[in-house]
Structure 1
């Protein structure tokens, strides 16, 4: 082995020791989360409603129902998940916590309520993002470990790549008939090779979720040669009505939702953010597919007057913004449907296995080195003893 590869091996091994446990946890939770929608749809009836041949209730009517149940709560987000799915309102009761309230979007009947911390998949998501630590701490531990993992994947690829063409066929396959240590060695190297490209994509998209500079870097890279800036495109507008309530002819959430329905009637899912504490704007987004967060067209309205302040038409968005909005769907593997979910699941499972198989390889080599040292010492002792007998 060349001195360069010895340095790479040293880095590969010790970086693995540093990040291995976190990578294992993050990868396993990523596997579980990949199919969370399908699993929850199969287990919970409240995630479905019977389709009715009539329009949805107005958002204000749903908010009125939730306000009666949670009079002290502010209702920050309203979801219309799809024609055969419930509407959802996020009720924020401050210190008392958050509550997801699911309603029939045609009748306004509350069908289910749930605290986020009681949902298994939300717990899995928080482990994945923060290791159940305070977010400000957990995201950095996870983020640094993911960056280290990317370096491990690259160094591993360089170390593994076969020199001779004749070795490549053997290097790309697992020798299932070999001894278990050989099988483990192949699992680490061969599966690591096949998973590298997907693992790096999942790592980068994960970092973009946690850290805005990464998201902005992706945006700028995709927009090379374009004059539009990140701030110009994503900054939400502010109210210009001097905070005078009652200027609109009807609740602004209703105006916003009606406008979105008219402009993007083909959208399957709508999200209204009703949290205008800073900007004084109420926004609504129409999404092409239910439970998918890419391919969105959005609008921002003045909280008080109902005036349309800004439109985010999907076809007019920059490539960078489109790519950023696809980030979640890419990260969980749903960007291309069930097939890409399976790919993301398998890649995450392989990533979880790499710290385990790598540790087994290291322990095996350590044991082999100790055994070799013992044999050498035994041989030296035998030769010395034999020489002493001959002399005497």
Structure 2
């Protein structure tokens, strides 16, 4: 290797080491919390299997407004913000609540669709909500509006730097040899073993980490999100997605009569018929009257393959309909960012691979720190030998 090549690699080694030392613990925390959430849906469904369905009966299911009214009459759980309804009359209704004045959100409830009887709160919901806040925002106050969002984004950018610099530093003389790239040398010990594990296993998981970071940045930086939307969406779709929300007029009063779900639900059922499996109806956070309805088809296997409707809750007018089947390839990629991020687009094997890769992040933190310390020890100048005393001196 030329002298220039040695200098470049030495500089990359410094960048790789410094970034790793600064971000090691943070990346390990983010990765481990991501691994915990890999099979969240399956775990939560298993824990709540006994309250997610009721015995089939001939009685008709309640309209959403009647269900909410009966729920409030029984006990004041707080302001309802969303309900999840199903085309299956034996499936329970999930009711979610708005945050209280202190910013805390009450736990959601599973409710019998026929008589609004409360069946219980979903087990595991609070645990996974805390893990998610730790993963995305590090539990820093403000959640998505706080500094945690930017910190995790900087960590993701730092990981990209480490992936690229690590690949260059790791590039073997025989680049075409699969054995050189993928087989760790387990017959050695000490610093050589740490280096082998760090480099070889890092090569295995590098593509997964690259996908994780490139999709994770979507949730940290608006400029990145807007750039991806501009690149992958049709012009009119990109313009609509990047359109900023109109500021609320000062002194504008809240509506006197709270809006309900029934008008929007009736319009949605007229539009969709029985093609949907479940639908999430979310009330507007402010003073608007447009309800957002996310709908999953009966053949949908991913949480992100959904249609989205916006319907005026007062008039029942369909404001917009965004169907997944009508999206371009780029727009489908945008819609599936979360499932790409966690490997779910590849089914449960993909989620398992991504979970294992995330769980391995502490290995790189530990071996990287050990390599740095051993390198510092090797570079430390040797102590000059003490002169021997000559008899008589």
Superposition TM-score tier, normalisation by shorter sequence: 0.7 to 0.9
Task: Give the helix-richer structure, 1 or 2.
Answer: 1
C-alpha distance after superposition, 1:82-106 (max 9, x if no partner): 7475321112262263221221334
Partner SS, residue 15 of structure 1:
helix
Once structures 1 and 2 are overlaid, which stretch shifts more, 50-59 or 345-354? 50-59
Partner SS, residue 79 of structure 1:
strand
For structure 1, the residue ranges without an aligned partner over 5 or more in a row are none
TM, length-normalised to structure 2: 0.82
C-alpha distance after superposition, 1:124-148 (max 9, x if no partner): 1111011111221111211111111
Determine if contact 1:74/1:92 at 8 Å carries over to the other structure. Answer: yes
Distance 2:162 2:86 in 1: 40
Q: CA RMSD in A?
A: 3.3
Distance 1:114 1:94 in 2: 19
Deviation at 1:219, TM superposition (A): 1.7
**Match of residue 207 from structure 2:** 197
Determine if contact 2:13/2:165 at 8 Å carries over to the other structure. Answer: yes
Distance 2:93 2:74 in 1: 16
Deviation at 1:262, TM superposition (A): 4.6
Total equivalences in the alignment: 371
CA spacing shift, 1:203–1:237, aligned 2, 3 Å: closer
Distance 1:115 1:282 in 2: 28
Query: Aligned pair 1:132/2:139, yes or no?
Result: yes
The 5 Å alignment of 1:41-60 reads: 41-45=45-49, 48-50=52-54, 52=56, 56-60=61-65
Partner SS, residue 164 of structure 1:
coil
**Match of residue 97 from structure 2:** 91
Distance 1:144 1:283 in 2: 32
Deviation at 1:51, TM superposition (A): 6.2
The 5 Å alignment of 1:22-41 reads: 22-41=26-45
Determine if contact 1:301/1:310 at 8 Å carries over to the other structure. Answer: yes
The 5 Å alignment of 1:75-114 reads: 75-80=80-85, 83=88, 85-92=91-98, 94-95=100-101, 97-99=104-106, 100-113=108-121
**Match of residue 221 from structure 1:** 231
TM, length-normalised to structure 1: 0.83
Distance 2:277 2:63 in 1: 16
Distance 1:257 1:19 in 2: 47
CA spacing shift, 1:124–1:46, aligned 2, 3 Å: farther
The 5 Å alignment of 1:1-392 reads: 2-45=6-49, 48-50=52-54, 52=56, 56-69=61-74, 71=76, 73-80=78-85, 83=88, 85-92=91-98, 94-95=100-101, 97-99=104-106, 100-113=108-121, 119-134=126-141, 135=143, 136-165=146-175, 169-223=179-233, 226-232=234-240, 253-264=261-272, 265-275=274-284, 277-288=286-297, 292-370=302-380, 373-374=381-382, 377-378=384-385
Distance 2:67 2:342 in 1: 30
Deviation at 1:69, TM superposition (A): 4.5
Distance 2:117 2:244 in 1: 33
Determine if contact 1:62/1:108 at 8 Å carries over to the other structure. Answer: yes
CA spacing shift, 1:333–1:268, aligned 2, 3 Å: farther
For structure 2, the residue ranges without an aligned partner over 5 or more in a row are 247-253
